[in-house]
Structure 1
Amino acid sequence: MRRLALFAALLVAAPAWAADGDLDRSVAAIARIGSAGSPSFSPDGTRIAFVSNRSGSPQVWVMPAAGGDAKQITTLTDPVQSVHWSPTNDDLAIDVAPGGGLNVQIYVLKPDGSALRRLTPGGQENNSLAGWTKDGRFLRAGSNQRDPAAFDALLLDPRTGTSKAIVAKAGNNGVLDVSMDGKYAVVTRLISRGDNNLYLVDMKSGAETLLTPHEGTGSFYWGQFSPDGNRVYVSTNGGRDRIAFGYVELDKSHKPGPMKIVASRDDAEGDGAILDRQGKRAALLWNVAGRSELSFLDTATGKVSPAPKLPADVTYTLRFSKDGSRLAVVATGSAITTDIHVLDIASGTFTRLTNSPHDGVDLASFVEPTLVTYKAHDGLDLSGWLTRPRGVTGPGPVVFSFHGGPEGQSRPGLSDVTQALVARGISVFAPNVRGSTGFGKKFMNLDNGALRVNSVRDIKASVDHLVATGVAQPGRLGIVGGSYGGYMVMAGVTEYPDMFAAGANLFGIVNFATFFKHTQPWMAAISKVEYGDPDKEAAMLASLSPIHKLDRIKTPLIVLHGANDTNVPVIEAEQIVASLKGRNVPVEYVLFPDEGHGWRKMPNRVKSTVSIVQFFDRYLNGKPPG
């Protein structure tokens, strides 16, 4: 869930003299720029599989790991989320999202695209795919088929399609790793957002041993065995504020010792890690106020050393080759397409493996954002990324762009909406209000439950700062966001009805009561600490729901939603549109019948981006659609 940012497309800054029609065509061209991710090496390291949307929908491609021509091997109607190459043979495992929704299904196929078989039932159940066991015998998977309010941790047999439940109980359970001898598993169990535990599970008896005892909330994302099975490497903010990296030693009876921290930073949060198959080296990814840095841990000495500079500001997805000689990453930046780069560890050299198409788009014309820091109403330190049109110095129109989550973060990656608006002379500011990740556990929990009112107040603090510093011009301000960012849009236009001249709400929550009633049961179960318990705190949730304040709205809105969204069901959008139409407040509604929680298909991305940019151009610049 963590990792997929909204608006990760791209856009050219068209010359100021271009006609509106030309600009609209530029917006569409940029929204069509491709991206690549989910790299996975073949066992012998000669090939790599990945997911790319260059054909118009995310599908699986295979190419030589040394570079060369890539071949598309799937042409499915539905988007592919990830691909995992077996560590022992020529089997690929993929997960596919029917209609863009959450009833994800798992398939296996060969690297030439043949022998495609679905392993999961194919119904409305939700499935997840984490990868293969080290011996290539099973897939690490999850499913809510037994209980819609929970995920069971499973091992899925790719030959027969049969599954074995490793853990079948309350919570969101998943298999992070299985020991080399197949006797033990590391299982994660999420009970509420921002709080999980890792367990050592005896594969024969099913007995669980807690690996991560902690007081208060704690997040543990990484859980990987050393080759001998005597150590489990973890990431942790249990008992500390920022995520660090460490390990738990297991004695001869597999009783865990205390956690030992081996890498931590006061200026950064751990953001991902992977241990090579030999157990000699771990790659550690850090989030430094939104930008990525990489380091390596020598497991024998415990020494942490800096890795070569990453190829772009924002990097995610770390994958070692089987022999440990290469590391594949996915990297992106405000002027760099999202692509796969491979580090040769011996030489310290990164090589760009994929080059996603950006036909007719000069990436060098993109505008780089700058980091802005400021204070909230209560003195809390806040920050955000400001992208301004080149040459603009005085006050002007600004769109405030809020990330989803709420456990998310605005980072300096590619954004088609941002660059398109900048091309129209509109600045974009992407704040990280309280509740955002990347700044420590305390900061992330400052918006839980009734504290959400302070996160909403951060909207005003963000606007006030840019007005006070001469960037934002009152009367020409917009607000945009998706998912939880869509909630912030609706909170902004209801709590501050005179502040914004236009707003764009993408699949956002408007009514916590209907959200909890209609979202997936497992999503509702883990969201009660973050938002509030609908059975015990209904009055508080009602006070935080913009649906009860729609009569305050003066701001023209565009509402965009996917018909197959089971995370934030489409009823959230329908309530807004019906209310505003009844009050004659300008509202546009864009419904995508073949999408879920966000847009994966290229034509829908284009339609969304063009519609949003035209909308803000009309209300902030006074221009009709081009």
Structure 2
Amino acid sequence: MLLLALVLLAAPEDLASRLRHLESAGSAEAPASSPDGSRIAFVTTLFGTRQAASMASEGGYPNQLTDEPGGVIALRYAPNDPKVLIALAMRGARRRLLFIDEEGAPAGEVDPAPGDQVPGGFTRDGKRFFYAVAEGSKVSLRQLPLDTRSPAEIAPPPAAAGPQPAAPKSLALAQALAGFISLGPPSPDGRAALAVTEQGLVLIDLSAARGEVIVPGDGGARFRLPRFSPDGRAVFVLTDAGRTTMGVDTITLLGRVRKTLYAPPQNLEAYAISEDGHRLAVGAEQEGETLFSVLELPSLRPQPLPVPPSGALAPAVSGESPMIWSRAGDRLLFGWRLSDDTTDIWAFRMGYGVPVRLTRSPRPGLPRESIARPKLVHAAAPDGREFSAWLWRPAEPARPRVALVASSRRMRPVFDKRIAALNFAGLAVLAVTEGTQATAQAWLRQAADLDAQKPLLLDFDRIDADRPDLAALVKGASTAL
């Protein structure tokens, strides 16, 4: 106890300096590729808050594209104009779609309609953009012609058009979108779209403004990233329907036949289909890290792929993929989180033997060796219960006190400012999931190289991971001890 107090109090200026450096560490994630592949855009904290930036795909200094007080969380290039993008930004408590461009014009809202705006995607020719607007329980599906930029709601044909044939299981759009979660891109011909709702996976007929649940969400099944095949005859989706782990399924639209395309023993956290439909890229989670595979379609034959340093995919907002193919299918772009370095944009170039790090976010005053790398602990408590958790140890003291951090989601073995701040304050950090704290505490009491006396208990769900108040976190930890 005395030793930890000395660590916390011996050099407050040094600790304050390290926390300041930690606050300044940046990140880059959520990549988008221009139609011709010459540029990439992404979300970065290089300019303070999360803003959109772009640069040449071969590297260079990022060009800031937005200055949104609430920050930007996702963006996409228009398929037919390499200088026009649509960004998803936070304005107040709402998610709003904005037009931005590479020339520095002020960002303008896609649609003035109130509510949260949810991107769907562009038609293949780039002439229309589909999105949803959610206001309370009401969801409006809309399209935006890019030549006029005049939003229009997807609505049934007028009564004057006479009775319209409807699929036997189809529902009115309002019913089909009940419990709306996310919207997928339109079909290649622009006649249909996909949505994920609490009911399951929904196929939307845009001309009739009706929807059909093609895969029900029975038993709490989850659906993510629905996408049409390039020929529009099938649908890909990431789901755990009918199994315990997430895998990629296909649904043939003629006959609604569903089958598993790829579902390894590990949980898949993301996938991406190349635009020509010939390659499937997947990211599988194994003990907190992401393992990549690229498979040839339809044979599922593995393709040669370079191996990046150990890490994990940077997460994306609902409906957005953490990794994307360039339009030509020669590059796979993704945000990559390392254990002892910043989150940055990386790429696999097909036919090349090494991964390419495209951005290098700043971490001034923080050499990599100053950031603790986690160790996976597999152990059993005295009562026989087994558990596994990631442990971050500080450089000193030799027998540190422990901060036991709990989260509703399993912590990944990656650089986390909250954990680094606690390490700098002399605390070891053991990350557990909710419900396993008692088992972890029982194990800690038997750990000879850790001081398990009254471990500090922290709920990381209550501490902002993007912009944490590190000084307050460390002060609270020292006060509690």
When structure 1 is superposed on structure 2, of 302-311 and 285-294 the one drifting more is: 302-311
Counterpart contact for 2:236–2:250, Cα < 8 Å:
yes
**Residue-by-residue CA offset, 1:352-376 (whole Å, 9 max, x unaligned):** 1111111121122211111123458
Counterpart contact for 2:325–2:332, Cα < 8 Å:
yes
**Residue-by-residue CA offset, 1:4-37 (whole Å, 9 max, x unaligned):** xxxxxxxxxxx99971111112111112111111
Write the mapping of 1:81-96 to structure 2, written as runs, cut at 5 A.
Answer: 81-89=73-81, 90-96=83-89
When structure 1 is superposed on structure 2, of 467-476 and 415-424 the one drifting more is: 467-476
Aligned residue for 1:211? Answer: 214
Distance 2:404 2:150 in 1: 47
Aligned residue for 2:300? Answer: 302
Counterpart contact for 1:153–1:175, Cα < 8 Å:
no
Aligned residue for 1:388? Answer: 393
Write the mapping of 1:220-619 to structure 2, written as runs, cut at 5 A.
Answer: 220-251=223-254, 255-257=255-257, 259-266=258-265, 268-305=266-303, 307-316=305-314, 317-374=322-379, 381-390=386-395, 394=399, 396-403=400-407, 406=408, 408-433=409-434, 455=435, 458-470=436-448, 472-482=450-460, 485-486=461-462, 506=463, 598=464, 605=468, 608-619=469-480
Distance 2:424 2:227 in 1: 46
Deviation at 1:460, TM superposition (A): 1.6
Deviation at 1:312, TM superposition (A): 4.0
Counterpart contact for 2:121–2:186, Cα < 8 Å:
no
Q: What is the one-letter code of the residue matched to 2:401?
A: P
Deviation at 1:311, TM superposition (A): 3.7
Distance 2:449 2:91 in 1: 43
Deviation at 1:318, TM superposition (A): 0.5
Write the mapping of 1:104-119 to structure 2, written as runs, cut at 5 A.
Answer: 104-114=95-105, 116-119=107-110
**Residue-by-residue CA offset, 1:106-128 (whole Å, 9 max, x unaligned):** 110211221531123275x2222
The CA RMSD over aligned residues, in Å, is 2.6
The correspondence for 2:41, drawn from 45, 49, 57, is 49
Report percent identity of matched pairs.
24
Q: What is the one-letter code of the residue matched to 2:251?
A: V
Aligned residue for 1:444? Answer: none
Counterpart contact for 1:150–1:172, Cα < 8 Å:
no
Deviation at 1:157, TM superposition (A): 4.1
Deviation at 1:322, TM superposition (A): 0.7
Secondary structure at the residue paired with 2:201? strand
Q: 1:155 to 1:617 in 2, by over 3 A?
A: same
Q: 1:381 to 1:185 in 2, by over 3 A?
A: farther
Q: What is the one-letter code of the residue matched to 1:209?
A: E
**Residue-by-residue CA offset, 1:230-253 (whole Å, 9 max, x unaligned):** 1211222111111112212232xx
TM-score by length of 1: 0.67
**Residue-by-residue CA offset, 1:362-413 (whole Å, 9 max, x unaligned):** 122211111123458997653221111236664x41111122xx3x221011
Aligned residue for 1:500? Answer: none
Q: 1:119 to 1:215 in 2, by over 3 A?
A: closer
Secondary structure at the residue paired with 1:349? coil
**Structure with greater proportional strand content:** 2
Q: What is the one-letter code of the residue matched to 1:310?
A: P
TM-score by length of 2: 0.86
Distance 1:256 1:109 in 2: 39
When structure 1 is superposed on structure 2, of 65-74 and 160-169 the one drifting more is: 160-169
Q: What is the one-letter code of the residue matched to 1:273?
A: Y
The correspondence for 2:23, drawn from 28, 31, 47, is 31
Distance 1:307 1:319 in 2: 15
Secondary structure at the residue paired with 2:220? coil
Aligned residue for 1:181? Answer: 189
Counterpart contact for 1:293–1:310, Cα < 8 Å:
no
Q: 1:242 to 1:378 in 2, by over 3 A?
A: farther
The correspondence for 1:144, drawn from 130, 134, 157, is 134
Q: 1:427 to 1:140 in 2, by over 3 A?
A: farther
Counterpart contact for 2:307–2:354, Cα < 8 Å:
no
**Residue-by-residue CA offset, 1:267-319 (whole Å, 9 max, x unaligned):** x1010111111111111111112100111121132334563213441124101
Q: What is the one-letter code of the residue matched to 1:412?
A: P
Counterpart contact for 1:179–1:185, Cα < 8 Å:
yes
Distance 2:274 2:309 in 1: 21
Deviation at 1:214, TM superposition (A): 5.8
**Residue-by-residue CA offset, 1:499-552 (whole Å, 9 max, x unaligned):** xxxxxxx3xxxxxxxxxxxxxxxxxxxxxxxxxxxxxxxxxxxxxxxxxxxxxx
Q: 1:274 to 1:152 in 2, by over 3 A?
A: farther
Counterpart contact for 1:383–1:432, Cα < 8 Å:
no
Q: What is the one-letter code of the residue matched to 2:105?
A: S
Deviation at 1:429, TM superposition (A): 0.7
Q: 1:143 to 1:467 in 2, by over 3 A?
A: farther
Counterpart contact for 1:63–1:69, Cα < 8 Å:
yes
Counterpart contact for 1:141–1:174, Cα < 8 Å:
no
